[in-house]
Amino acid sequence: MPNKTINFQKIEKKWQKTWEEKKTFQVSENSKKEKFYIVPMFPYPSAAGLHMGHAIMYTIPDIYARLKIMQGFNVLHPIGYDALGLPAENAAIKNKTPPEEYTKNSIKNFTKQLKSLGISYDWSRIVDTSKPDYYKWDQWIFLKMFEKNFAYQKQASVNWCPSCNTVLANEQAQTGNCERCNSKVEIKTLKQWFLKITNYADELLEKLDDLDWPQRTKTMQKNWIGKSNGTEIIFEINKEPWKIFTTRPDTIYGVTFMVVSAQHTKLMNLITKEQKKPVKDFLKKVKTVSEKDMENLEKQGVFTGSYAINPINNEKIPIYAGNFVVADYGSGMVMAVPSHDQRDFEFAKKYKIPIKKVIDGETKSWSAYVGPGKLINSDKFNGLDNNEAKNKITEFLKSKKLGKKVTQFKLRDWLISRQRYWGTPIPIIHCDKCGAVPVPEKDLPVKLPKEVTFGKGNPLETNEKWINVKCPKCKGHAKRETDTMDTFVNSSWYFLRYADPNNSKEIFNKKKAEYWNPIDQYIGGAEHACMHLIYFRFYTKFLRDIGMLNFDEPAKKLFHQGMLHGADGNKMSKSLGNTVDPLDVIKKYSSDSLRLALISFASPDSDTNWEEKVLIGGHKFLTKVYNQFSEIKIIKKADEKTESKLNKIIKEVTNQIENFKYNLAIIKVRELFNSLPKETSKEVLQKSLQLLHPFCPHITEELWEKIKGKGLISLSNWPKPELSKIKEKFDQQDQAMDKIVSDIINITKIVEARGEKKEKAFVYVIPNELSFYDEKAISKRTHKEVKIFAVNNSKKHDPNNISKKTKPGKPGIYLE
Ligand code: ANZ
Ligand code: ZN
């Protein structure tokens, strides 16, 4: 067989150029076709460029998009850059180039690399969040939020990294050390900007039910929002009312102490003179930890000197400051019931506080009883079932105006302030007279100044000229806000901007945004479950409520791609030496081979390891397909068997791509090409190429041209299965063939293990199965001379009388 070396790189360049010049994937909203909007989460452009994670992340949506285009949808498949953020700033400081320059170069490089993957983007819609004409609209949304009291400032204790000089999100400080630089995280109180995402807590929770998203992600969001129904009870402390949130009002007679959060803003009001010193000492040594870790933490506390009055029986209850109470959940203080709550139990044991049982139930001596039971030691509520008692006690307290039913959410308002440079400036001017004054809309964008000094805290504070401005209201002397926004702000609405990326008059044209949105298929990593994927839902709802959008949710369907690890099963990393560079693979093999490998390892939603032999196998397959097409003879009509197989596979593959079962689809497509006869119809060849096209767009475009297909295969019509052409009998034949081949190979192995050499195989089949078997094909696959006989053939060669044992579906085999 001639095996010409094929210049894949040349072919791929040719088609990438053609698609670009013909603007093949540019779309507009003026189309008669039904729209389909597919969005991959946009990348952070770093100087390191495209890595294998990106290659898989962007190939998966491309395959989907290409199917949808061919199915006749008006497909918008855009890309952009999430280009603001700390890494660019840190890299810029290190390399002494401004973040802007660093980002520009990274984007240029990244774009070139993405193009080499042959992805079907509408390149005319690039969104770059670091451009003032993008972040202007971040600021515009902020002003709308400010106007509606959705953006506000408050003192908050924050996780502070002294080395990065910035506030960290809880997620970035989970271990108590900074996620980036590993320095010990400190707690600091600062005036910070927040967005009122909690206004949507209920809707964010309820609408989850309508979303076709992975269940795991929905559950994570549900827990993140953390709706909890309970009772608010008023305790009197130093003659003042304190609201306490509890989900267990039934245990109120068992309260033996209270615990206020060590980070509570009003903690100092509770400390008596005598306790000042021990409390101070305690606060110095308590570790700063995120809420998630609180549960596993050793419970620690100190007596404040103050007491609370239990409203149900007027008992005097000591108040402790403790490290296991969250400052901004409920009221930041808990009524502790050591007999029925494990945390409280451990605390009481440690500090020798009395434990009073109020629910009847057996427990091991070393833990709290958390199960159901009847109330005891609870005065007039004794004997009640504890669940019933929850209501009864709440009602009783309500009648005395000392309590009521409430709902609490774990979800907090979104802290967006960052004391860094490379983010969207918050469009606020602080005036001594007028307070926080919004920058007038006509003055947007507030651009990042170029003249700043890096390395000494917030760079924006180093440009006096930029900071000192006139107050928009009183024209007096005022100062700009120097905080910038969390970059998750930028990614909360970029998918809307794709619909109208160059609009300089408004954030987007409402009609255009509503034409493309909501997203039909969103694709990205599961690690975004609780931040980005909640924030973009919040932004959508806010924009809806100010009349900009007519839908509730940004994305109907969500798919999380799996992670690709190195061949050794570890995360690909330079230090482990297990990285594979997609650009090297493209240079050495081809982009199509890389794409084929990426989807062949495993199902796109599962984690998998790189396998060189899969890449090589795929590359061989593509080489074979190319050569196959130069040899195949085109005839008018294909044989029935080929037609049957083709149509069956069209049906299967369509379904498998639609359900992200690419790994299964490609097995079928390869099977199809392997079974193509030497002579077949143009239609069969075209349809086969079409099935391969979403996976390997370049080579299929080239072969499509070779067999004189009309136009571009990229824009051709996806084949529909002709069900009448699917014949089960051919399937049976296929299976019979596969079986006989593997049987002959297995028997050969056994025989050869005994040191015998066999060149010929004789196969005996029952007469009506004779047509299932193809002597030549079996011969080729087993590398033997093969003869097939019907058992009733009197001329058969059968020295061992093996044909006697032949049964339907079970041919006899004799080797010689
Ligand atoms: C008394 C009690 C007795 C409680 C008992 C539990 C068991 P969820 O479901 O998470 O909402 N709590 C209230 N505010 C808190 C805060 N700021 N930080 C830490 N814990 C806080 O949990 C509500 C329960 O968590 C509340 O009910 C309260 O303890 C505690 F046998 O009150 B409970
Ligand atoms: Zn003023």
pLDDT at 35: 98
The verdict on the CB of residue 528 being under 6 Å from ligand 1 is: no
Distance CA 703, CA 717 (A): 16
CA-closest residue to ligand 1 atom 25: 246
| DSSP line for 746-766 | HHHHHHHHTT----EEEEEE-
- The Å distance, Cα 264 to ligand 1 centre, comes to 16
Check whether 504 has a pLDDT greater than 90: yes
- How far is residue 485 from each of residues 105, 423, 648, 736, 758, measured CA to CA in Å? 23, 6, 53, 65, 76
> Which of 334-338, 451-455, 512-516, 612-616 shows the lowest mean pLDDT across its residues?
451-455
CA-closest residue to ligand 1 atom 27: 246
- The Å distance, Cα 246 to ligand 1 centre, comes to 5
pLDDT at 168: 76
- The Å distance, Cα 405 to ligand 1 centre, comes to 14
Per-residue tokens: 530: 């609780």
Query: What is the SS3 assignment for 204?
Result: helix
pLDDT at 293: 56
pLDDT at 2: 42
Nearest atom (ligand 1) to Cα of 332: 17
Q: In this structure, are residues 135 and 489 in contact, taking their beta carbons and an 8 Å threshold?
A: no
Check whether 521 has a pLDDT greater than 70: yes
Q: In this structure, are residues 236 and 311 in contact, taking their beta carbons and an 8 Å threshold?
A: yes
Look up the pTM and report it: 0.88
pLDDT at 4: 59
CA-closest residue to ligand 1 atom 26: 246
Mutate-to-test residue for ligand 1 from 222, 232, 334, highest number of ligand atoms within 8 A of CB? 334
Nearest atom (ligand 1) to Cα of 327: 17
Q: What is the dihedral of CA 61, 66, 72, 77, to 10 degrees?
A: 50
The verdict on the CB of residue 331 being under 6 Å from ligand 1 is: no
Average pLDDT of the chain is 93
The verdict on the CB of residue 107 being under 6 Å from ligand 1 is: no
Confidence grade of residue 1 (pLDDT, cut at 50, 70, 90): very low
Contacting residues for 739 by C-beta, under 8 A, at least 6 apart: none
The verdict on the CB of residue 246 being under 6 Å from ligand 1 is: yes
Query: What is the SS3 assignment for 727?
Result: coil
635-655 confidence digits (pLDDT tens): 999 999 999 999 999 999 999
- The Å distance, Cα 338 to ligand 1 centre, comes to 12
The verdict on the CB of residue 330 being under 6 Å from ligand 1 is: yes
The verdict on the CB of residue 340 being under 6 Å from ligand 1 is: yes
Average the pLDDT over 490-506 and give the result: 98
The verdict on the CB of residue 369 being under 6 Å from ligand 1 is: no
Q: Which residues of 692-708 are buried (b: 16+ CB within 10 A; e: fewer)?
A: bbbbbbbbbbbbbbeee
Supply the DSSP symbol for 118. Answer: T
| DSSP line for 231-300 | EEEEEEETTEEEEEEES-GGGGGG--EEEEETT-TTHHHH--GGGHHHHHHHHHHSPP--HHHHTTSPP-
Supply the DSSP symbol for 448. Answer: P
The verdict on the CB of residue 248 being under 6 Å from ligand 1 is: yes
Mutate-to-test residue for ligand 1 from 231, 312, 317, 341, highest number of ligand atoms within 8 A of CB? 341
- The Å distance, Cα 250 to ligand 1 centre, comes to 13
The closest alpha carbon to 221, from 523, 557, 533, 491, belongs to 533
Nearest atom (ligand 1) to Cα of 340: 31
CA-closest residue to ligand 1 atom 11: 228
Is the model more confident about 308 or about 172? 308
Tell me the β-bridge partners of 189. Answer: 157
List residues, by chain if needed, whose CB lies under 5 Å from ion ligand 2: 431, 433-434, 471, 473-474, 476
User: Which ligand is nearest the CA of 479, by number?
Assistant: 2
The residue with tokens 């495993």 is: 602
Supply the DSSP symbol for 153. Answer: E
The verdict on the CB of residue 129 being under 6 Å from ligand 1 is: no
Confidence grade of residue 414 (pLDDT, cut at 50, 70, 90): very high
The verdict on the CB of residue 24 being under 6 Å from ligand 1 is: no
User: Which ligand is nearest the CA of 476, by number?
Assistant: 2
| Burial grade of 287 (CB within 10 A; 0-12, 13-18, 19 or more) | middle
35-74 confidence digits (pLDDT tens): 999 999 999 998 888 999 999 999 999 999 999 999 999 9
The verdict on the CB of residue 412 being under 6 Å from ligand 1 is: no
Contacting residues for 592 by C-beta, under 8 A, at least 6 apart: 8, 12, 118, 622, 695, 696, 697, 698, 699
pLDDT at 171: 65
Q: Residue 566 region, left (φ>0) first, then alpha (ψ -120 to 50), else beta?
A: beta
User: Which ligand is nearest the CA of 475, by number?
Assistant: 2
Check whether 197 has a pLDDT greater than 50: yes
Check whether 424 has a pLDDT greater than 80: yes
